[in-house]
Amino acid sequence: MTAASLRARLLVLIVCVLAAVLVPLGFLSAQHTLEEVDELSDGRLAQAARTLEVLVDRIGVEQLRQQRAARLLVPSVSNHPQELTVQGRTFESEVGFQVFDRDGTLLLATENLAALPRTQATDGSYEDVRKGKYEWRVFTLIKEDDDIVIRAGERYDSRNEITRALWIEHGLPMLLGLPLMAYLVGWAIRRGMRPLDALAKALSRREPGSREPVHLRDAPTELQPVLAALNEQIGQIEEALERERRFSADVAHELRTPLASTMINLEDAMASARPDEAEAALQAARECLVSLARRTEQLLALARLEAGAAAGPRSRVDLSELALDVIEEMSALIGSGGVELSVELPDHQFVEGYGVALSALLRNLLENAFRHVPRGGHVELSIRQAGGEAVIEVVDDGPGIPAEKREAMFTRFQRGIDTHGSGYGLGLSIVQRAVELNGARIRMLDRDDGASGLRVVVSLPTA
């Protein structure tokens, strides 16, 4: 089943809301108008009875009674043969009156109301009385002084016509207006959603791999957060793809040499007839595989740090405890290198950061120092607090790095010319990424005592 479009949903919802509001309002308005018409018509009957009371006073009640004593016919006011016509309609047959004396004898009446029986209505009351096929609304006025009862009546026909006219007046515009309103609302929705159509066209026209942000001229306020989030997502996807491409290139570049060396050594071992030569070739192949494993580990560590996958949520990290763990992990390298390590750590130094990234930072700083310091050299690791920051400092007495080349050392595969051991120029790249993840600062400085070597200082916000 095909899902309804957003335009169709909006159209249906808006029309339903309009109908839900306008129909009850129209019904209530018509009902209130009818109540007002009924009150006005009742007031008109009362006014007619009062007017007739004045006329009866002028004619004289006794004169009306004498006519009855003379056995005259009941004086009736005929509506025929010339009825009052207003705009093509006659109204005289729809209204009438009666006058009774104290004995209930009809003294005066209109022809259309002459046969309407008298009831026991009270003074000033209204009642509904049926006569033949018609129903009348009757107002009763009792003149106590002369014992005269005056009744003014109106047929419900006229009121029903007014009711029908009012319902048509209120209902017909709504019946005709709702479809027209639905059409206009649909047109307004289509016009209002043009920016979405423009966004869809802009996205469909984008070239694969394009990094250009999506722009819409005169974008509505409601669409601007969508554009901002979309551009941010496009940027993140492009960054992820770039990391993948860069990682693939790094792997192809860095693993080609150790793999080739391993294959050559294995072929030499297999081709050699002398055991000592074969053993030497196998040992060389093993060293190539160890080199390959380390290089792969560094590439994966750098990829994880760049993707932020290894960081996870920030947490409270004890740098002193972390440094001891890293030193214990590197104990074999430290013991075999012939380089002295001195450590100055506080009991605890807490920071708010990513533990995995900080471990990689400490490990690579120490590895970098040990690989540049010749046998018999010295490396110092210290952690302290200064100016509201936790400061990690690694000092070595190796050849150092010229000031003009220090910035470039954070680039991938950039190695110092006097490197000892099997470095691949990835260590400081990992350090740089860890610094960025933790919002820290890193500086490469000369030693304070002026001797040769390098001093690396990392400053992190404390917890």
Q: Rounded to whole angstroms, how far apart are CA atoms 138 and 140?
A: 7
β-strand pairing of 378-386 with 441-445: unpaired
Does 357 or 145 have the greater pLDDT score? Answer: 357
Q: Rounded to whole angstroms, how far apart are CA atoms 434 and 396?
A: 21
Q: What's residue 309's pLDDT?
A: 53
Q: What's residue 382's pLDDT?
A: 93
> How does DSSP assign 140-199, residue by residue?
EEEETTTTEEEEEEEEHHHHHHHHHHHHHHHHHHHHHHHHHHHHHHHHHHHHHTHHHHHH
Does 338 or 86 have the greater pLDDT score? Answer: 338
Q: pLDDT-derived band of residue 86, with 50, 70 and 90 as boundaries?
A: very low
Identify which of 462, 454, 344 has the alpha carbon closest to the alpha carbon of residue 402. 454
**With contact defined as beta carbons under 8 Å apart, do 179 and 161 qualify?**
no
Identify which of 433, 362, 417, 425 has the alpha carbon closest to the alpha carbon of residue 394. 362
Does 444 or 208 have the greater pLDDT score? Answer: 444
Compute φ and ψ for 18, nearest 5 degrees. -60, -45
Query: What is the mean predicted confidence (pLDDT) over 284-294?
Result: 78
Q: What's residue 201's pLDDT?
A: 80
Token pair belonging to 41:
């018509």
The pLDDT mean for the chain works out to 77
Token pair belonging to 293:
């494993």
pLDDT 10s digits, 185-212: 888 888 777 778 787 787 777 777 676 7
Identify which of 111, 115, 108 has the alpha carbon closest to the alpha carbon of residue 150. 108
**With contact defined as beta carbons under 8 Å apart, do 389 and 459 qualify?**
yes
pLDDT at residue 1 tops 70 = no
pLDDT at residue 109 tops 70 = yes
Q: pLDDT-derived band of residue 410, with 50, 70 and 90 as boundaries?
A: low
Rg (CA), the chain: 53
Which of 184-198, 306-320, 356-370 is the least confident region? 306-320
β-strand pairing of 389-396 with 454-461: antiparallel
pLDDT at residue 77 tops 70 = no
Identify which of 292, 383, 373, 372 has the alpha carbon closest to the alpha carbon of residue 339. 373
What is the value of pTM for the model shown?
0.45
Q: What's residue 221's pLDDT?
A: 77
Is the link from the previous residue into 179 a cis peptide, with omega within 30 of 0? no
Q: What's residue 122's pLDDT?
A: 84
Q: What's residue 296's pLDDT?
A: 77
Helix (H) or strand (E) holding 98: strand 95-100
Dmax (CA) for the chain in angstroms is 166
Identify which of 318, 326, 403, 307 has the alpha carbon closest to the alpha carbon of residue 368. 326
**With contact defined as beta carbons under 8 Å apart, do 364 and 431 qualify?**
yes
pLDDT at residue 349 tops 50 = yes
Q: Where are the beta strands (DSSP E) in 248-367?
A: 315-318, 340-344, 350-353
Q: pLDDT-derived band of residue 91, with 50, 70 and 90 as boundaries?
A: very low
Identify which of 328, 346, 444 has the alpha carbon closest to the alpha carbon of residue 396. 444
**Crossing angle (nearest 10°) for helices 427-437 and 355-372:** 150
pLDDT at residue 285 tops 90 = no
pLDDT at residue 342 tops 80 = yes
Q: What's residue 324's pLDDT?
A: 92
Q: Give the number of other Cβ atoms within 10 Å of residue 312's Cβ.
A: 11
pLDDT 10s digits, 30-42: 788 778 888 888 8
State the residue for tokens 């029986």.
Answer: 117
List of long-range contacts for 16-20, beta carbons under 8 Å, 24+ apart: 18/178, 18/181, 18/185, 19/178
pLDDT at residue 391 tops 90 = yes
Q: What's residue 393's pLDDT?
A: 93
3-state secondary structure of 262: helix
Q: Rounded to whole angstroms, how far apart are CA atoms 17 and 22?
A: 8
Does 86 or 433 have the greater pLDDT score? Answer: 433
pLDDT 10s digits, 202-248: 777 777 767 677 877 777 777 788 888 888 887 777 777 777 776 67
Q: What's residue 203's pLDDT?
A: 77
Token pair belonging to 273:
């007839």
Q: pLDDT-derived band of residue 75, with 50, 70 and 90 as boundaries?
A: very low
- In whole angstroms, how far apart are CA 413 and each of 219, 310, 336, 381, 441? 45, 22, 25, 25, 21
Q: Which residues contact 281 (CB under 8 A, 6 or more apart)?
A: 265, 266, 268, 269, 272
